[in-house]
Structure 1
C-alpha cells in the first residue's frame, strides 16, 4: 500500500469520495509534511486517526481548535468538518494519518460489531473528536497502535490486512469504552451552522473556477448574505470571499505540483482572470512565485 504525501483529497462536493485504500481493504495511510501541504476544510464518511511525528499542528474541528504537539494525536469521527495546519509555518510539522471506513472493522451493518460498538460511536453527536496524549495510559496505547497500523499499511507485507484490522479494532474498542467521559455538548445552533457551512463549501468547490458572488454562496444554504458572513466568521474564522481566494490558491498549488499544465492555464482555470494578480496572490500565500513553487515540488519527487 503506497503512502500518499498529500492530504488534499477532497472532490468537487467537498465531502471526500476518494477511495481510501480499496473496496476490498478500505484503509489508507498518509504522510503530510507541513507547510507544503494544507489539509483544508473537509469531511468524510471514514474515521480518521492522526499522530504528530514532528513539530506541532493546529487541528480545527468545527468551531473547536486544538494544539497537537509532537507525540500526541487525535481521532476525528465520521462526517465531521475539520482541517489542520502547522502551528509554526517556518518550523513546519509532519503527521501520519490513517483514514479507514468502519466496515473494515464492522463488516455488514447488521453485525454485532456495528450494532454494539460502531453505531453508538459514529452516531454520538457529542463525540466529534478525541485527543490522545502520551501522558494518559490508554491514550498512549492508542498512539502505539496507530503507529503500528500505519507502518503495517505502509510496508505492505504479507498478512498486513489482518494485523491492521486488529490494531484498528482495539482502537475502536478503547474509544467506545472512554467516549462517555469525553463528551462535550455542542449547541444545536452550532450544529446547524456547521451543516450550512458544508453546503456552502460544496458550492464553492463546484464553482471555484467561475465568478463567485456572496449571493450565490448564501443561496447554497438558503440563508441571507449577513447570515452567510456570520457563519463563516463563527465556524471558519474568515469571510466567504477570502475563503474562495484561499481555496483557489490551494487548487492552483496542487495543479502546479501534480501536473504539467501551463501556469497561465492553471491560474485561469482556478478563477484568476488576470495573471499578474494570480502571481501576486500566490506569492503572498506561499512565499514564492508559481514557477518557483513548481520547481521545488518537482525537485522533491
Structure 2
C-alpha cells in the first residue's frame, strides 16, 4: 500500500482507532519510485525491519543505515523517510504503526506512567535494534512474530499482537535512561516546524504555479533561510523538493493508466509534457511511458 499523506504531512493511517489501533504494511517500497519514500510524519509509533536490502532510514536530520535483520523504532510526530540503498529487489520492509492506546486508554495509569514518557521524550526520536546485538535479539524475535500474526491473522491474533507490543514498550520504558540521547536544539526544532509548514504548502499546492518565495512565505522566512532549511533536512533546494513531490504524484497517476501524459503533467504542475518527461527520466532513469513495466 503506498504512503498517503494528508495536508499536514500526517500519514493517513486507515486503522480504526476505536477497534484495533495497529496497522501492518509490507512491500511499500515496490510501489515507490527508486524505492524511496517521501518525508512524512504521523502521531503513531512506527517499527520497521530491513529484511533483505540495506536501507537508509532518515529520522529528522539523522541517517540510520539498516542492514538485513535490523529494526528501528520511530517515535510519533517525527519527520522521517526511508530509501533502499542496495539490493536487486525492493525490500519487503514490514512496518507496524500503532497508537499507545492499543495497550491502554490514554487517561489510564498504565498509559500515563509508561507510554506517555516514551511518546513525549524529545531525546528519543528513534531506537535501533541491530540483529547482531544479543541484548536486542529478543525484540527482533518479537517483531518477526508480530509481523507473522498481523499477516496471517489467526484466531485471537489481536491479543497476541497487543501482548508483544506491550513487551516492546516495556523494554523501551525500562531502558529510557540507557539509550543514546539525541537532544534537539531550539534551532533544530524551529527548523523542523518551518520545514513542515513549507512541505505542507508544497503538498497542498503542487499542481499550481509555485515560486521559491511562495514556499518561503508559508513559513514566514526568507528565501535564503528556506534554502538552508531544505538543504539541512532533505539535501536539496525547495524547488527541487517540489519537483520530486510532483514526480512522485505523477508515478501514482501513471500507474493508474487512465490519463494521457499531457493530462498527468498538467495535473502535477508541469505545464509542458516534454519538460515533465525530461525531469522524470533525469530522476528515475526511465521514461514515464515505462512506469509499470520495470517492477518499480
TM-score (norm 2): 0.93
Higher strand fraction (1 or 2): 1
2:66 counterpart residue number: 68
User: Which residue, out of 109, 115, 119, partners 1:118?
Assistant: 115
Mapping of residues 240-259 of structure 1, within 5 Å: 240-258=238-256
User: Which residue, out of 25, 38, 50, partners 1:30?
Assistant: 25
The offset of 1:36, in angstroms, is 4.8
User: What secondary structure does 1:16 align onto?
Assistant: coil
User: What secondary structure does 1:95 align onto?
Assistant: coil
CA distance in 2, matches of 1:258, 1:97: 25
The offset of 1:85, in angstroms, is 0.3
TM-score (norm 1): 0.91
User: Which residue, out of 138, 142, 153, partners 1:141?
Assistant: 138
Distance 1:201 1:50, change over 3 A: same
Aligned length: 292
1:170 counterpart residue number: 167
Distance 1:294 1:265, change over 3 A: farther
Give structure 2 stretches of 5+ with no counterpart. Answer: none
Contact 1:34/1:89 (<8 A) preserved = no
Please, what is the CA RMSD of the aligned residues?
Answer: 1.9
2:229 counterpart residue number: 231
Mapping of residues 136-285 of structure 1, within 5 Å: 136-182=133-179, 183-258=181-256, 260-285=258-283
CA distance in 2, matches of 1:21, 1:146: 22
The offset of 1:233, in angstroms, is 0.9
User: Which residue, out of 13, 17, 20, partners 1:18?
Assistant: 13
User: What secondary structure does 1:94 align onto?
Assistant: coil
The offset of 1:92, in angstroms, is 4.6
The offset of 1:296, in angstroms, is 4.4
1:130 counterpart residue number: 127
